[in-house]
Structure 1
Amino acid sequence: MINVLFVCLGNICRSPMAEALFRDLVTKENLNDIILVDSAATSSWQIGLPPHQGTLDILKKYNISSNGLVGRPLTKEDFRKFDYIIGMDKSNIKDIYNITGKPNHPKIIRLLDLTKDWKDIPDPFFTGDFEETYSLVSTGCRALLKKICREQNLYN
């Protein structure tokens, strides 16, 4: 099993959006028996809560299931469990390094570093622009799936 974890500050906007979108891509490629997807927060503010309504609305708009999405914290144990730990911005990456105790480890990746955008995904909790976030997350998730398929010899 290949384990993928998406991480953002609160686990209510970007990372659950990425989890749901990536899970949808994995299912469409018939890889859901091979790739497990989850998401987590670097903060403890929203633990146990469902995603932000803006995230739920954008997922519904694109017909992507939000079932099972609940905020949870990133833990040190997640480093052992997950093969790919994907942060949404530089601040998330720094926090992931601090929480896992694994600075600069290659399994910890900023999502858009896999694309030609090479930038942070803005937090729609603050910007209110869930459409922009969805577009960037979608681009990053597609690039991530290609990377995983290439690295793990899963040709889809």
Structure 2
Amino acid sequence: MKTAKIHIQFVCLGNICRSPMAEYIMREKIKQAHLEHTIFVDSAGTSGWHNGENMHEGTAYVLQQHQIDTKGFTSSQVKKSDWDTFDYIVAMDNNNLRDLENLFGKHPEKLFQITSLCPDLSHDHIPDPWYTGNFNETYHLLDECCDALLKCVKERLKGN
């Protein structure tokens, strides 16, 4: 089996709502682009509060509504070794980014907030549906941001 050239990790607080939603949206986009052997995607949380759990039922429901398979997910926490594993570590909000920068340092070419890829987005962060209850809003924002990220990754792959 070929090893992926690009490794992406999405990160939120608990790794049950936003980051798994981004992971599974991106997996679907990668599959549609026939890049499954080129791009690997994963997710994690900064807190570890939900380690070993499945994604939130609201996350699973909205993904399934968009015909995205949700099987195979288990929540995990960011590890120091992730820095060496992933080419991009993508935060969902300012707090996640700050926590990641405290762990890894500031490296905006590798570690950034996903909404920075969509300057015309209606939000400067991905709202946490754990608090807002609006999983559809989170889905639509992440769908747009994942399109932008995939475009960036494709450009990087063209350069290699």
Q: TM-score range by the shorter chain?
A: over 0.9
Instruction: Return the match for 1:138 from 135, 143, 160.
Output: 143
SS in 1 for 2:7: strand
Aligned length: 153
Shift of 1:44: 1.4
- TM-score, normalised to structure 2, is 0.92
2:128 is aligned with 1:114: no
Superposed, 1:1-156 pairs within 5 Å as 1-100=5-104, 102-116=105-119, 117=121, 119-153=124-158
Q: Distance in 2 between matches of 1:132 and 1:125?
A: 12
AA aligned to 2:116 is D
SS in 2 for 1:113: helix
Same amino acid, percent of matched pairs = 40
SS in 1 for 2:81: helix
Shift of 1:99: 2.2
Moved over 3 A (4+): none
Q: Distance in 1 between matches of 2:10 and 2:140?
A: 16
Shift of 1:98: 1.5
Shift of 1:70: 1.0
- TM-score, normalised to structure 1, is 0.95
What's the CA shift string for 1:33-58, capped at 9, x where partnerless? 00000000000110100000000000
Q: Distance in 2 between matches of 1:19 and 1:65?
A: 11
What's the CA shift string for 1:104-147, capped at 9, x where partnerless? 44200111100122601100000000000000000000000000
- Return 5+ residue gaps in structure 2 as ranges: none
Q: Distance in 2 between matches of 1:56 and 1:22?
A: 14
AA aligned to 1:153 is K
Q: CA RMSD in A?
A: 1.2
Determine if contact 1:4/1:84 at 8 Å carries over to the other structure: yes
Shift of 1:103: 2.1
- Return 5+ residue gaps in structure 1 as ranges: none
